[in-house]
Structure formats: structure tokens, C-alpha cells
Amino acid sequence: MISYWAIVSARFRSLLQYRSAALAGLVTQIVWGMIRVMIFQAFYSSTNAEQPMDGSDVETYIWLGQAFLAALPWNIDTDLRSLIRSGGIGYELIRPVDLYTYWLSRALSWRTAPMVMRAIPLLIFAFVVMGMSPPVSWAAAAAFFVSMCAAILLSSAITTFLNVTMLWTITGDGVTQMTFGLVLIFSGMLVPLPLYPDWSQPIINAMPFRGLVDTPYRLYLGHIPVSEFAGVLAHQLVWILAFIVAGRLAMARALRRVVVQGG
Amino acid sequence: MSQIIIEDLIKRFRVSERDAGMWGAIRGIVKRRYHTIDALDGVSFSIESGELVGYIGPNGAGKSTTVKVMSGILVPDAGRCEILGRVPWRNRTEHVSRIGVVFGQRTQLWWDLPVIESFDLLRDIYRIPRAEYATNRDEFIAVLNIEGCLDVPVRQLSLGQRMRCDLAAALLHSPDILFLDEPTIGMDAVSKLAFREFIKQFNQERGTTVILTTHDMDDIEVICDRVMIINDGKIVSDGTLDELRRRVSLERRLVVELVDNVIEPTIHPLANLANRDGRRIHIQFDPHQISAADLIAHATSQNQVQDLFVENPPIEETIARIYKDQAT
Amino acid sequence: MLDSLFIYRRFLAVSLRAQMQYKASFLMQLGGRLIITAGEFMAILVLFDRFDSLIGWNVYQVAFIYGIVNISFAVADAMTTGFDLFGDMVKTGDFDRILIRPRSTALQLAGQELTLRRISRLTPGLVALTWAAMNLDLNWTFANASLLMVSVAGGASLFAGLIVLQATLAFWTTETLEMMNTLTYGGVETTQYPINIYRPWFRNFFTFGIPLATVSYFPALAIMGTPDPLGTPLWFQYIAPAIGIAFLIGSLQVWRIGVRHYLSTGS
């Protein structure tokens, strides 16, 4: 356990070094959030009909999305990619740690460090300048926190799965792009999930991607009441487990192939 | 008129200094401190058409800066640079269509394409007439022995193969001047020999001027008629290889292999024993004080000699001495 | 000029052939991009399904504007990949290789790579535009058809100009230029909706500052025959795309200054 912690903290510190990139990302996401808020405000001002989610909730949902954007599984570990390309992956195999757990730890820090850098200043900005609302209750805040941790773990498990596919495809770009496309559409990043047509709700709710965005944010807003917390958390956990199992199996197969080829 | 005229070339670089840490980075945004490096500090030389010139010096001495100025990708702060009657950076496209450049470190071929397609593309970029292109291409393929590489993507070539292809690519448009920037770095022995042989032969046949920067003194010895040495942005030596040796040290060596392992071989009073290695002795002498012939006559008459030969000091030693003289 | 076009075509052919060497990866990337861009268009449909109108605009009008902007950006984005990768070229010194060839640097960079997968954005753009045009009851006069062409050309030029400007910065700084992406990608996101839905300061920025709205929104109004809620005259809507072309020409001048700077610093 201690060795995994060492891996996580070392990578965390090295990722924190890219301060100027973090600043640039912060500005980008603030502007982006403002554009999206204005678009939704325009839509909401065009109707008097009752909507599944009210306008101010959508704004908070958007700002949360911007704050935690970097936690989404949107890219692959470029260091691992060059390791695989150069054949240096062989050295990974002789480390005295379980390779899958090691990769998952990497992914966890890879997802968390840039997110922390951006989330805190962005949330402060959104609260102070844009009038974002706080969690509806302390219970909602706690539920949000737990569910957000599960979201990051889910994102890391998906990222690790994508990293494992690189053992086959080398570049991994294609799989990553396709996955990220699905994430954007079905997590709530593009449009908050409750606004999708009613008939599509059961399908969307069954998919894993809502656990990345929609579940924690709606707990925050009280849109999913705390009483339903256990159910939605279970949904997240089941999918985390599914991606971990899939990742482990895929990795075991890929490594067997690597060993057989002597590569 | 000379093909290349360089007079009093000066180039200074400003290098920004940055303080360590976050605070240093922030302060660096507001106020930067610089120090200047004199990359070229009054460099002058001229080169005639058809010369084979070696251009050497320690790292950071100004070699690449000079080559960059001559190839039109860097503008000097002051001084004159005229090549084929043109100022390189004023007429960049006209200038570069008359020169060829090979950078040893990186290829100018298209990484993912078969070599032959890179050649075809260069034909169109340089607007080479079809007939001239075909002649050149076929000749280089044969002489550089790259027939087998033509259909292979560049990324799959070995370094030696790639450099030979790069050399062909740089010459397809029959340039008047060829710049070679450390071309043999990392090359295997066979490729090196082929490379050097090709350069010499090409120069003799076509009269193309060649300017070669290198760290490999064998390159210089085999290829070049003339050697220029730059150190700290100044040309410190310019002449033939022999002149260079003579300038630095008049000293030469006679190596004598004796028949027996005599304890005290007799040595001419005007020469002295440099070192001894069993039956083999190295005698140091100054040809102005005693000719090699006299010394050999003396050595063979006074000792029982099995074999002997006169040796120049290795070129590396010569160069090292020039750098050292400069420093003091 | 003709010769430049010829060499540009040669560059592109070479670039395409190189990409075809990684066919599987290429197809997957194309698929991924298609999902993302189709998702973005689907988001608009989802919102109109909920809200019926966007301050008076119907879904076809928005789709029409969306189509023009996305087609323009797809064309510009695919053609300027070389400029996108330019920051790395300066760092590694690969730009020297461009400089020792007897062709203009901008032409060589534009020809450096035509990234096919970036064209994937073209698909939802074309679908949206066609679908909108079929439902909008448009008057396809010669003037309107040419205005559509010019509008796409103006939009593509403007985006290309922005990307060239962004690349030019790499001559002066090695810092990350992620912030500049806010202008291009943020510009696409913004201008694919009618510009009058935004707050005035924001609207003005994309009309006068970075005139992205100018080259798409105004000509689209003229073609659709919709009077501008902001009250611009018709003649302005017709000449607006020219601003994009002027912007690209200006950007290329700045690029030239950047190259001169590079030649004198060599960094």
C-alpha cells in the first residue's frame, strides 16, 4: 500500500508543476462556462413551460462541470504511451507491484492533480462573480463529496481501461476519442441529463457515464434527494467494479501476448 | 570573385536568466535579466568555388551559428555575408535553391513516406527539370547504394541508410554549395567510409563547394583540403591540414623498432626520447634543426634497427593544443 | 500563384498518403470525432425539443447558422494543422528545415499536413445546413447562393487567420498557448448560435474584436431573409464575409514579422 501511495504522491507533485497550463485552462473554462450559461439563459427565457430542472440549477450544474472537467476520462497517459512505443513497457513488468493497481494509481493522480489545480479557483470565481449556489444542505454536500470521489474513481478506471487498450493499438487515440464522445453526450457535460427527452431517461440512467457528472451534481443541487443517495452510489460502484474487472482481464490477455511475442 | 565572402560577422544572443521557484517565475514576467553571448565575434573568411572546407571548433564555439547564417536561416547583427553574389537572408528562396544542407541530427525527408516519394516531392519543391532530376536521382541511387531503401518509409531506415538518403536529397537540385553539419554523427563505420568517399568524388566531378562541420577528425583528414577552426566566436586558424600542423607544433616523431631490447639506445643530440615501449622507441625532433633523413641515417648507423617510420602528431592533439593556446 | 497551388496539392497528396499508413487508427479517430461533433449538434436538437424556440429563433434557423460556422471551421482546421503543430517545430528546431527550402514558409506549413480526421466536423455541419435549407423555404437566387459560398470562405479565412496568429506567438514565447484555443473553439461554440442571444459586451467582442459572428451570422440573415434583431442594414450583411478574408491577409503579414523575428534571434 505504501508503494502505491509513493507513486500517487510523486506523480501528483510532478503534475502540479504545470502552473501556467493550469492558469490557461482556468481562463478557458471560465469563458467556456460563461458561453454555456448565456446559451441556457437564452433558452430558459424563451419559455414559460415547467422544465425538469430550473434555470438557476442548470447554471450551477454548468459551473460544476467546468470546475471538474479535468477529472473526465478525456485522454490517455502520454508517458505510458511513449513507454509502450519504445518497448520500455518490459521494465514495467519487473516492478515489484501489481501492474494493474500501479496503472490505476497513476490514472488516479493523473485525473486528480490537474482537477484540483483548476477546480478550487474556478469554484471561488463561480461563487463570487457568477452567483453559483452552494449545496442545498449539509447532507447534500456530504453526499456530493462521496459521489464525486466515486466519479473520480470511475473516471480513473475508464482511463486505465483506455491505457490498457494501448497495448493493442499503440496510439490509443481512436478508442479514447470514441469513448470521450460517449462521455460528453451521456454524462451531462453537453446538456444536463434531465433535459433529454423523457423516453430516453431509462437508457441514459442505466449507462455508466452519468456517474461521472450527473449523479454528483444533482446530489449537490438536491435534484436527487439524499434519500436516494445509496441507490445512485451503488450504480457508480457497480460500474467502477465493471471497468476494473474489464481492465484487469484485458491487461492479463495483452501481457500474455507481449510475453509470447517476446516483445 | 570568391563564392563565399564573410567579413566581420557578428552575432550576439540574449539569453534570459530566470530565478528559481514560483516567485522567480512571477518576477521574470515583469522584469527579465539578460546576459549576452557573443556567438560570432568578427568572423571573416572567403571560400572559392570547388573548395572542400572543414569547419571545426568545440561545442558552442559558433560553428552552427556560422552555418545558419550562410544557409539563410539566421540574420547576423553586423558584418557582410555574400554567397553566390547574394545576401542569404534577403533573398531566402533564391539563395536556398542554390545550396544543399544536411543536418546530421535530423532528416529533411518525410518521416512516414517511402524515400522515393520524398525525392519526387523535392523535385517539385525545387522545380528541378525532369531530365536533370532523373540523371541525378539515378546516379546517387547507384553511387550511394540506396536502391534497397527507396520503397521503405524513412522511419524504418537505419541511421546510416537515412543519412545516405538525406545526402542524395540535398543534392538532387545540383546545388553549387553543400553544407554538411555533423553528418557522420552516430554512423556505422561502413556508412562513414562510403559517405566520405562519395563527398570527395562528387566534389571532384561536379566542382561543388563543400563545407563540413564535424567532431570526427577522420572526416577532416579524409575529405578536406582546408581547415578553419573557430573558438569563442573567432576564427583562430585557417589553412591546409599540413599548415595547421606546422603552425601548432613543428615537432614530429620518428618511431624506431630495435632488433634487441637494448638498455641505452643511442639518440641524436638534437632529438630526444619521447617515450619507450619495449623495443619500440619514439624520438621527438624538430625538422628545422635536423632533417628526418639525417636522423634516420644516424639512428640506423648507431643502432640495430628492424623497422622505422616518421609520424605526425595525431590531429586531435593538434587541435586541442590550438584551443589551449587560445585560452592562455 | 498556379505553381504554389500545384505544390500545395502535392503536399496534401503526400500528407494523405502518410496518414493512410495508419488506417485503423485513422478510422477510429474519425469515428470518435464524428461522435463528438454529432453529439454537439444533437444537443441543439435536444434543447429545441424542450424549449421550442430560442428567443424567437426556430431550430432550422439555428441549424443553418450552425452549419455555416462548422463547415468554415472544419475547412480552416484541417488546412492549418501545420500551424497547430508549429510550437513544437520551433522548440525542436524543425522550422529550420522549412527555411532551407525555396518556398514560402506559410505555404509549406499549410501543406505540412492536412489532417483528414478534422474534416469529420464537416459532416454534422453539412447535414445541419442541408436539413435547415430544406425546411427553411429559402429563395435560392444566384446572389444568395454565392453569398453562402463567400460566407463559408470568409469564415474559414477568419478561423485560419486566428490559428496563424496563434502559431505566430510561438516565435516569441514557449509558454503554453491553450488560452488561444478559447478564441477558436470558444468562437465556434459561441457563433454556432445566433449572436443576439448573448450579452452585449460578449456579442460586441465577437462582432468587432474577433469578427467571427460577422462572417457567419450576418450573411446567414441575408440568405434566410430574416431581418436582424440587432438592426444591421442588408448591404452590410452582404459585404461582411470580406472581413474574414482581410483578417487572414493581415494575419499572414504578422506571420511574416514573426519569421523575421525568428531569423534574427534564431530561437
pLDDT of residue A150: 97
Cβ within 8 Å of B, C 66-95: 92-94
Report which of residues B179 and C139 the model is more confident about. B179
Residue C163 cell numbers, joined: 490559428
| Res C141 pLDDT > 60 | yes
Chain A positions touching C24 (Cβ under 8 A) are 169, 174
Q: Contact B89/B72 with Cβ under 8 angstroms? A: yes
Rounded to two decimals, the pTM is 0.80
Query: Could you tell me the CA-to-CA distances from A228 to A218, A225, C51 in Å, in that order?
Result: 11, 6, 28
SS3 assignment for A150-166: HHHHHHHHHHHHHHHHH
> Residue B200 has what pLDDT?
92
Distance from the A196 Cα atom to the nearest Cα atom in chain C, whole angstroms = 6
Q: Comparing A10-14, A235-239, B68-72, which segment has the lowest mean pLDDT?
A: A10-14
Task: Give per-residue pLDDT as tens, C4-49.
Answer: 888 888 888 888 877 777 777 778 878 888 888 888 899 999 999 9
pLDDT grade for A1, boundaries at 50, 70 and 90: low
| Residue A179 CB neighbours (<10 A) | 21
pLDDT tens readout for residues B18-40: 555 555 555 555 556 677 888 89
Residue A161 in this model has a pLDDT that exceeds 90: yes
- Measured between beta carbons, the chain A residues lying within 8 angstroms of C23 are none
pLDDT digits (tens, 9 = 90+) for C204-248: 998 888 888 888 899 999 999 888 888 888 888 888 899 999 999
pLDDT of residue C246: 94
Residue A261 has pLDDT above 50, yes or no: no
Find residue B153's DSSP bridge partners.
B114
Residue A13 has pLDDT above 70, yes or no: no
Q: Out of B92, B106, B112, whose CB is closest to C94?
A: B106
pLDDT (0 to 100) of residue A170: 67
Q: Which of C43-61 are b and which e, b meaning 16 or more Cβ less than 10 Å from the residue's Cβ? A: bbebbbebbeebeebebbb
Q: pLDDT band for position A236 (50/70/90)?
A: very high
pLDDT higher at C133 or C115: C133
**Which pLDDT score, from 0 to 100, does residue C115 have?**
73
B 125-184 near C (Cβ less than 8 A): 125-127, 153
pLDDT of residue C52: 86
The rounded distance, in Å, linking the Cα atoms of A196 and A199 is 8
A-C C-beta contacts closer than 8 Å: 117
Most confident of B284-298, C96-110, C172-186: C96-110
pLDDT (mean) for C99-113:
87
User: Residue C51: CB partners within 8 Å, gap ≥ 6?
Assistant: A43, A44, A46, A47
pLDDT of residue A116: 82
CA-angle at C241, arms to C237 and C244, nearest 5°: 145
Shortest alpha-carbon distance between residue C92 and chain B (Å)? 10
C199 interaction partners in chain A (CB closer than 8 Å): 38
Of the candidates C97, C102, C264, which has its C-beta nearest B126's C-beta?
Answer: C102
**For A169-176, what is the mean pLDDT?**
76
Percent with pLDDT over 70 in chain A:
86
Closest A-chain CA to C53: A46
Please answer yes or no on whether A180 and C55 come within 8 Å at the CB atom. no
Q: Which A-chain residues 25-44 have CB contacts (< 8 A) with chain C? A: 25, 27-28, 31-32, 34-36, 38-39, 42-44
Average pLDDT, chain A: 86
What string of pLDDT tens digits covers the 328 residues of chain B? 789 999 999 998 877 665 555 555 555 555 566 778 888 999 999 999 999 999 988 887 888 899 999 998 899 999 999 999 999 988 888 999 999 999 877 788 888 888 999 999 999 999 999 999 999 999 999 998 889 989 998 888 888 889 999 999 999 999 999 999 888 888 888 888 888 999 999 999 999 999 999 888 888 888 898 999 888 888 988 888 888 777 666 677 888 888 887 777 788 888 888 778 888 888 888 877 888 888 888 888 888 888 888 877 666 677 777 777 766 5
pLDDT in tens, C58-85: 999 999 999 999 999 999 988 888 888 8
Higher-confidence position of C265 and C45:
C45
Distance (Å) from the alpha carbon of C5 to chain B's nearest alpha carbon = 12
Touching A: which chains, 3+ CB pairs < 8 A?
C
Chain B residues with CB-CB distance to C260 below 8 A? 75
Res A192: pLDDT: 96
- Tell me how close the Cα of B240 comes to any Cα of chain C, in angstroms: 30
Average pLDDT rounded to a whole number, residues A93-110: 84
Alpha-carbon gap, residue A16 to A115, rounded angstroms: 10
Would you call C25 an interface residue with chain A, using a CB distance cutoff of 8 Å? Answer: yes
Q: Which residue of A has its CA nearest to C181?
A: A28
Judge whether residue A259 has pLDDT over 70: no
Q: Above 70 in pLDDT, residue A18?
A: no
Reported as a pLDDT band with limits 50, 70 and 90, residue C160 is: very high
pLDDT above 60 (res A63): yes
Query: What pLDDT is attached to residue A2?
Result: 64
Please tell me the least confidently modeled range out of A121-135, A176-190, B84-98, B278-292. Answer: B278-292
pLDDT tens-place string over residues B223-273: 898 999 888 888 988 888 888 777 666 677 888 888 887 777 788 888 888
- Kindly indicate the confidence band of residue A11, based on its pLDDT and cuts at 50, 70 and 90: low
Report pLDDT for B156.
87
pLDDT for B236: 85
Task: State residue B25's pLDDT score.
Answer: 52
Please judge whether C14 and B117 are an interchain contact, meaning their C-beta atoms are less than 8 angstroms apart.
yes
The answer to whether C46 contacts A196, with C-beta atoms less than 8 Å apart, is: yes
| Secondary structure of chain B as H, E, C letters | CCCEEEEEEEEEEEEEECCCHHHHHHHHHHCCEEEEEEEEEEEEEEECCCCEEEEECCCCCCHHHHHHHHCCCCCCCEEEEEECCECCCCCHHHHHCCEEEEECCCCCCCCCCEHHHHHHHHHHHCCCCHHHHHHHHHHHHHHCCCHHHCCCEHHHCCHHHHHHHHHHHHHCCCCCEEEEECCCCCCCHHHHHHHHHHHHHHHHHHCCEEEEECCCHHHHHHHCCEEEEEECCEEEEEEEHHHHHHHHCCCEEEEEEECCCCCCCCCCCCCEEEEEECCEEEEEECCCCCCHHHHHHHHHHHCCEEEEEEECCCHHHHHHHHHHHHHC
Interface of C with B in 98-117 (CB under 8 A): 99-104
* Model pLDDT, residue C197: 93
